[in-house]
Every structure is written in C-alpha cells, then in structure tokens.
Structure 1
Amino acid sequence: MKVAIYLRVSTTEQAEEGYSISAQRERLKAYIVSQGWELAETYEDAGFSGGSLNRPAFARMREDIKKRSFDLILVYKLDRLSRNMRDLSNLIHELDEYGIYFKSATEPFDTTTPAGKLIFNMLGSVAEFERGMIGERVKMGMLQKAKEGNGLLGFNHPYGYDYTDSGLDVNEAEARNVRAIYTKYLRGYTLEEIANELNNSGVKTKRSKRWTRQTVLNVLTNPLYAGYNRWGSIYWHGKHHPIVEPDTWNKAQHLRTIRSRQKRAPRLKIEELNNGEFGIFASS
C-alpha cells in the first residue's frame, strides 16, 4: 500500500507539546515499516495552525488526492490534519470519493466502518474544542499582557510611536503628522485628500509605503492616539502618552459617523465648528 504522511505543527505546539516535525516524521516512518507499507509522499506544514486549511503542503496534498497518487494518508494525530470538525468531515468525504483511506498512528479508528466514523467524529469534536480553548487562552494572555504593559498587541508598530524596551514612546516627527491628520479631517478634508498631501510632502507610513485612504482611516480610528488601549470591545487607559486629546478623537469618530450618511460633509460648516491652527505635515 502506498502511503502519504502529513506533518503539521504550530509554533506554540512545538514549544509546549513537543509535536516537532521531525518527531512526527520518525514515528510515522516507523509505523509504515511495521505495517509493510510503502512511503509514497511526505507533506510538511511547519508553523501553521490547525484551525485553517490555508497551508501550502496541505493544498498540494489535496491536488495529489485527485490524482490518486497514494492509497492512504497517515497522520500522527487527527488534529495534525485539522482542528475544525467541518473541514475534517469534508476531507473524509473527499477521500471516500477517490477511494483513499485515512489513518492516525496514535488513534484507533477506521473511517470505512460506522463505528470507526463515530470515533472519528468524536475525536474531531474534541480537536475543535481544544482549538477553541487554545484561542481563548491566547486572547486572555495577550489582553493581560497589554494591561500590564502599554497595550501594544501584535507586531504592527503604530505610526507616531516607536516601540522601545520601556514600551511605546512618542515619535515627535510622526506625531506632528498624526495631529495634522486629525486637524485636517475635522476641517473637512477627505481621507483621499489627506493621503495625497502626505504623499506629496514625502511622508511615508511606518512601513515606508505611500499613504492610502485606509492608512489614514487607521490613524483616525485608533484610540491608541487618545491614550486608550482596545481589545475587541474592551477599552482601558494605556500607560503611553497620547498624541491627540480624547475630545479630538471623539470628534473625529462623530464626524466619521456623519460622513458615512452623506458622501461629503460641507467644509465651511466643519471649519466653523472646529476653529484652530492649520496642520502642517512634517516629513520624517
């Protein structure tokens, strides 16, 4: 019997559970030898979550399924294939369609029998439950870390700040541009007009890209600039210095709501409501 082995590990699993690619490979190769089977193909997805099927080796394996390049797919555990019950069920139906078997080296089930399919469904449900619990623990850990620190979640450093050992520090050259973005928006400028002025002034984004409508909107809607941190619908005071006043940020959100109801807000009216110095962009 020609066998394909599928190996997967996420960064967290490798660090915490020892599910290294090499450990899975050695275990599966030994299993194939013990059964007198032939190893036909190896598919490896290192650093990919089991919650999504968007994995390069997995996609290649599905193409080979259609070609009937092997007779059976062997995994170390069912959750190596996927932690989503619907995805697992769809894959099993696909394998049945092409006459290909599926087996786990550490879990006793046979998808060709009713009892085996029941065990498969039970194990798949457990894998999906574990995925949800892992995601919840990650979220809670990130939220607690943010509250204890300065609220920087993820790896994208916001424009106007630099990430240092002490946390988020204001980058004054960029901060002047942030304040100008808010000033111009409250005076009636559109997102496109603000982006064009930034680009014409030679100002780049944090990633040294040109400004777009979306990147300007990201600045206007991020409560970080008003001194607040946000995780989903949860807001709290950050430990970093704000770049704009909370009142300014709130006015921008109110204006954005108004503009969503009408294509263009009257500029003269906006200027009457928001008198102040005209912002000047500074190239960093």
Structure 2
Amino acid sequence: MKPARAVAYVRVSTAEQTSEGVSLDGQEERLRAYFTLQGLELVEQIREAGVSASKPLAERPGGKRLLELVGGRWVQHLVALKRDRLFRDAEDALRQTKAWDRAGVALHRVDVGGQAVNTATAMGRFFLSMTAAFAELKRSLIAERTQATLSRKKADRKAYAPTPYGFDRDGEVLVENPAEQRVLMMVRTWCAQGWSLPRIAEELNRRRIPAKKGRRWHASTVRYTPKNDLYG
C-alpha cells in the first residue's frame, strides 16, 4: 500500500471573497470531510487568500510551498475543491498533472459537477484529458471566428487594429495612404528581385522611410507586408 499522506490547498481571490461568497473556511470544511471519507492523512493545509488563479503556482506563496511538498516526495496526494483553485485553465492543469502523475502524486478534485475525481484512477485521468481537449476545442473555435471576422473586415476595407501600413483609418473604414502605398510597391518589387527581409528593412531605414507611427523597419515588419491578404 502506498502512503496516503496528502496536502490540501484552498484559494480565493479578493473578488471572489466579496462578490461570490467563496470562503477559505467553506472549502476547508468540504476537504476535511473528503479526507475522512478517503482515509487520507493531512500533512499540511495551505491557504491562499487574495491570489488570482492567473498567477502560476510557482509564483504564489502557497503554491510555491505546495510544489516543495510535492517535489520533495513528502506527499502522495494533493487535494483541492475544484480545478480553478489550482490552475488558470485546463491545459495548464493537464500539463502539471502529467508531471505529478510521473512523480507518483495523485490530484484529487472534490467537486467536479458534484462528483469527486482523482488522477490515481484511469477514469480520473481520462476525465482530465477530456476536459483539456474540450478547452482546446473552445480556443480553436474562438480563433477561427476571430480569423473569419478579420478576413471579412479586410475584404470590406473595414478598420481593424492595428491600422495596417499603406492605409489610414477614416472612422470604421480603411482608406489608402498614397505615400505608403508607393513604399509597399517598392517592397513588393524588392521581394520579387530576391532581396532578403533584413536587406529591405535596412534600405528603408537608410532612406529614412518610417514604418507606421514613425518606427524603424525590421525584418519582422517587412515580412508582414507581402503576407497580409489586405494588399491582394
């Protein structure tokens, strides 16, 4: 039998304490009941107040202590009420949990839709992987919608941020900037002649032709120019 030593972690942000009624004491009460039910030995209780989940564990005072306990093999189980007490998103949770799994440490989440799940079981690991997969799907769908919206705006010459080189913003419409359009023609010509991106940037700077907002040209700035489908 593996040792059943465990660390419990509770966290609230200031906003949660004031607007949502989430309390450290309430979380601890539920975790104590879970420890009793599972027969886990509580080695240490870590409380994190006024800390956002967007901050990585290693940058939180309590999170750093938690990682020390897990990394030092002092505990074999880590218990929290929900995933968002520990991690900023499902991808972060999956990455860190896999590392803990290799170290022989199981993550227990006491409230997952009213059920307890832990990565010591095959079903718990499967559930975590599915959660991360759905989170990745959501991010991909958002990225696709964003790209589709941007493409429509470019096709209709609608303004978007930042205003691209060669155009000025007139309300919600992009209008051509004649001087910058001439520079774009030069850049396209040099690209067709096989000039490297650093060479083009150097030549534009040598001629004292500023990039947007008076900035200097760089290879990365030049690279964007011929690739932007706004220019056709």
Instruction: Give the structure-2-normalised TM-score.
Output: 0.63
Tell me the number of residue pairs that the alignment of Structure 1 and Structure 2 aligns: 201
Work out whether residues 28 and 76 of structure 1, in 8 Å CA contact, stay in contact via their aligned partners in 2: no
Percentage of identical aligned residues: 15
Residue number in structure 1 paired with 2:69: 68
Alignment of 1:83-232 (within 5 A): 83-84=90-91, 86-87=94-95, 89-93=97-101, 96-97=104-105, 102-107=108-113, 108-109=115-116, 111=118, 117-150=121-154, 155-187=161-193, 189-206=195-212, 208-226=214-232
Work out whether residues 2 and 40 of structure 1, in 8 Å CA contact, stay in contact via their aligned partners in 2: no
Residue number in structure 1 paired with 2:9: 4
Residue number in structure 2 paired with 1:57: 56
> What does the per-residue CA deviation read over 1:33-88, in whole Å, with 9 as the maximum and x for residues that have no partner?
45569553355234xxxxxxxxx423435643342299745253469734238525
Relative distance call for 1:38 and 1:66 in structure 2 (3 A) is: closer
Work out whether residues 4 and 39 of structure 1, in 8 Å CA contact, stay in contact via their aligned partners in 2: yes
Deviation of the 1:187 alpha carbon: 4.5
Which letter does structure 2 place at the counterpart of 1:220?
Answer: P
Q: Distance in 1 between matches of 2:171 and 2:231?
A: 20
Relative distance call for 1:68 and 1:83 in structure 2 (3 A) is: same
Work out whether residues 162 and 168 of structure 1, in 8 Å CA contact, stay in contact via their aligned partners in 2: yes
Work out whether residues 184 and 225 of structure 2, in 8 Å CA contact, stay in contact via their aligned partners in 1: yes
SS at match of 1:149: helix
Tell me, which stretches of 5 or more residues in structure 2 are unaligned? 1-5, 33-43
Relative distance call for 1:103 and 1:95 in structure 2 (3 A) is: farther
SS at match of 2:22: helix
SS at match of 2:52: strand
Work out whether residues 73 and 101 of structure 1, in 8 Å CA contact, stay in contact via their aligned partners in 2: yes
Which letter does structure 2 place at the counterpart of 1:149?
Answer: K
RMSD between aligned alpha carbons?
4.1
Range moving further from structure 2, 121-130 or 162-171? 162-171
